[in-house]
């Protein structure tokens, strides 16, 4: 029986649905140390649990790390921060007032003092009150001080995208607004193993970063995730399906739909190359350009 694109993407749609990593062998090997045998021994986690595991590691390995936002000490509405306050205390994992501008502003100050500030915006739709803090403060902090000061330890996490319900205040994908702002990075993972490695890279990167998490995949995307501490490189796109006729570039949750489109096109004799951008700013031009030189066509979704 033919498997659906959802199944290929590694979601647990039902107990009978097979799970599969939606990652290239190179990326998987990098995360596990290179052994296919090791990969089969890793526990299966959904994307939400992978985020939680990354936050546990970040707090455990760096005493200067803090996680804060609306309801994070309770575990958050999506439960990504569950257990953190119990283990690390409410001095390092704590709730904030319902004020996104205040959350990011506090994070800028905390990071400027040499700490690792992980600020959560409960839904990406509500990041706009903090737009000024991100664009005019965090992004320009290093430049305007002549590199004397910076808030490079700031990571802003925000669940984004539609989930089939939620309406116009809980379904937006605002990443494009931030992709025109020099001084910050914008990162979006496509799967649990990618989410863990990329989030740890963001937290340890010397630049302020907005990390959008595809909430549609929080519990639908399931794959083997290495238990140990690992990072994945930022600003490095990944060719997850090779082709010769056209290049497709995407990120996050849309990649499962794009893979289905690639398979449909293959039935019509069209060979598609699929690239996960992963870091939207600064993006990996070299990988995309090399692919387009080969295929001669480019489609962005």
Catalytic machinery residues: 100, 170
Instruction: Give the closest residue to 224 by CA, choosing from 58, 47, 78, 76.
Output: 47
Provide the CA 236 distance to its chain's centre, in angstroms: 13
Peptide linkage before 282 cis (omega within 30 of 0): yes
Residue with tokens 């949750």: 253
Q: Where are the alpha helices (DSSP H) in the chain?
A: 5-8, 25-32, 36-40, 47-61, 84-88, 100-112, 131-132, 141-144, 175-178, 192-204, 254-267, 285-295
Asked if 148 and 138 touch (Cβ cutoff 8 Å), the reply is no
> What are the phi and psi torsion angles at 292 (to 5°)?
-70, -35
How far apart are the C-alpha atoms of 27 and 116, rounded to whole Å? 26
255-264 contacts at long range (C-beta below 8 A, 24 or more positions apart): 255/9, 255/22, 255/190, 256/5, 256/6, 256/8, 256/9, 256/11, 256/22, 257/5, 257/301, 258/301, 259/5, 259/8, 259/9, 259/22, 260/4, 260/5, 263/5
> What are the phi and psi torsion angles at 269 (to 5°)?
85, 15
Structure tokens at 32: 């596990």
């Amino acid at each position: 029986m033919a498997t659906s694109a959802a199944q290929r993407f590694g979601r647990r749609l039902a107990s009978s649905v097979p799970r599969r990593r939606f990652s290239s062998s190179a990326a998987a090997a990098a995360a596990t140390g290179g052994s296919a045998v090791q990969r089969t021994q890793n526990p299966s986690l959904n994307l939400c649990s992978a985020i939680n595991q990354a936050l546990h590691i970040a707090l455990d390995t760096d005493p200067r790390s803090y996680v804060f936002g609306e309801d994070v000490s309770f575990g958050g509405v999506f439960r990504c921060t569950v257990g953190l306050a119990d283990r690390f205390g409410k001095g390092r994992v704590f709730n904030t007032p319902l004020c996104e501008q205040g959350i990011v502003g506090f994070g800028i100050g905390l990071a400027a003092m040499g700490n690792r500030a992980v600020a959560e915006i409960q839904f990406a739709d509500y990041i706009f009150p903090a737009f000024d803090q991100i664009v005019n403060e965090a992004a320009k902090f290093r430049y305007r001080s002549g590199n004397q000061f910076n808030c490079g330890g700031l990571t802003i996490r925000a669940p984004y995208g539609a989930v089939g319900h939620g309406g116009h205040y809980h379904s937006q994908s605002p990443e494009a607004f931030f992709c025109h702002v020099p001084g910050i990075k914008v990162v979006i993972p496509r799967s649990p193993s990618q989410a863990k490695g990329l989030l740890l890279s963001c937290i340890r990167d010397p630049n302020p970063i907005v990390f959008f998490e595809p909430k549609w995949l929080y519990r639908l995307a399931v794959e083997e995730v290495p238990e140990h501490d690992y990072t994945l490189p930022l600003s490095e796109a990944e060719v997850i399906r090779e082709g010769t006729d056209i290049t497709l570039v995407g990120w996050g949750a849309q990649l499962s739909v794009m893979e289905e489109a690639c398979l449909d096109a293959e039935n019509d004799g069209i060979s598609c190359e699929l690239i996960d951008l992963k870091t939207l700013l600064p993006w990996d031009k070299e990988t995309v350009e090399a692919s387009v030189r080969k295929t001669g066509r480019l489609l962005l979704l």
